[in-house]
Amino acid sequence: MVSGTAADLVASLTLGWNLGNALDAPEDETAWGNPRITPELLQSVADAGFDAVRIPVTWSKHMSEGPDFTIDPAWLNRVEEVVGYARDAGMVAIINIHHDGAEGFDAVEWLTLTDADGNTTDANNAAVRDRFVKVWTQIAAHFADHEHDLLFEGMNEIHVGYGKPDPRHLPIVNELNQAFIDTVRASGQRNADRVLVVPGYNTSIDHTLAGFVPPDDTVPGRLILSVHNYDPYLFALRAEVKSWGQGSPDTDQGSQEAAFDRKFDRLKAKFIDHGLPVILGEYGCTNVEGAEDYRRYYVAYVTASAKERGILPFIWDNGGQGTGAEQFGLFDRATGEQFQPELIEAMVDAGKGQTTTNDLVAPDVSE
């Protein structure tokens, strides 16, 4: 049972894990190469030291056409089953609307800031909001009596491109957040005071600091802000750079240890210190052969830096077992076995506060 405020909840948790490339695969949970989710997998993650799980869900291919956009009951039931696995493992769970808002996903993306011609229009905003409300009305109704160890997250990384956002788009994201809050609260039962998670534009820390406006809520202290971070992109995501940190012999794109500290300090000062807790809903570093020490140092440092400022991190895991870009697997999805036990141990120690940023030593570049 989750009680108290959202801030109390965030403070009580150690570390979060993402069940990526599963229920967020548009066609089916096995469409992107991972096996069906099992209770044993969630128990293995919990046993490793994670006490929260973010379960991304893509709904587009599991609903009818408009005007009703009716979600397939079998899909809702499967999502509920996986949420139950998390609960049985003693984990707090978050479900969301995920790749329905993924830019460039043909036949999937509908949660957009522009129409099919790339224009920002009142008509597109109204159509998106109508579908968004109808989808959340159904999700909220299905889970209305579920215990408070289930959180809802309104949407994922809603954006148009990765450059400076169109200033018209920042308030549209804020308006969708408000629609999400209003829709869930109106569904009643345990949704009347369920903890809800809202993002800023593209979950970018910089854009969130610049343009996020907290939605109004009917109950105080039951909202969480979510941001993501995969900086530096060429190291953490693309594996084109194989080292990180102040002592790195390679480039960091300006995203070294102090840069993370500054970003998290700003989030704390603007939101956490004013009663709005923050989660780092996604972060991570892809597996690269020969860069294991840098990866372990990076993940431990970012985890520790976030936790020292009261931010709860959720590591991204997509099940990828290889080396190179987008290989974020930490657990074997079939067996629950740990791919990277030393990395997981370093991360969990940082999550528990047993390792701080002052304790961490960057890899020796002379070796």
Confidence of residue 76 (pLDDT cuts 50, 70, 90): very high
For residue 351, is pLDDT > 70?
A: yes
Tens digit of pLDDT for each residue in 317-348? 999 999 999 999 999 999 999 999 999 999 99
Q: What is the pLDDT of residue 2?
A: 66
Q: Are 102 and 91 in contact (CB under 8 A)?
A: no
CA distance 170 to 200: 8
Radius of gyration over alpha carbons of the chain, in Å? 19
Average pLDDT over residues 36-48: 98
From 280, 263, 305, 273, select the one nearest 54 (Cα to Cα).
Answer: 280
Catalytic status, residue 157 = yes
Token match 């987008």: residue?
326
Q: Are 51 and 15 in contact (CB under 8 A)?
A: yes
Confidence of residue 38 (pLDDT cuts 50, 70, 90): very high
From 205, 208, 201, 258, select the one nearest 230 (Cα to Cα).
Answer: 205
Q: How many CB atoms lie within 10 A of CB 232?
A: 22
Token match 């956002």: residue?
165
Q: What is the pLDDT of residue 1?
A: 46
Tens digit of pLDDT for each residue in 270-325? 999 999 999 999 999 999 999 999 999 999 999 999 999 999 999 999 999 999 99
Q: Are 280 and 227 in contact (CB under 8 A)?
A: yes
CATH architecture of the domain 6-351 equals Alpha-Beta Barrel (3.20)
Catalytic position from the list 29, 153, 157, 257? 157
Q: Is 317 helix (H, G, I), strand (E, B) or coil?
A: coil
Token match 């957009």: residue?
112
Q: Where are the domains of the chain?
A: 6-351
202: left (phi over 0), alpha (psi -120 to 50) or beta: left
Q: Are 34 and 321 in contact (CB under 8 A)?
A: no
Catalytic position from the list 29, 153, 257, 282? 282
CA distance 187 to 92: 21
Q: Are 315 and 283 in contact (CB under 8 A)?
A: yes
Catalytic status, residue 109 = no
For residue 267, is pLDDT > 70?
A: yes
Give the phi and the psi of residue 147 in degrees, each rounded to 5: -60, 165
From 183, 22, 5, select the one nearest 95 (Cα to Cα).
Answer: 22
Average pLDDT over residues 132-147: 98
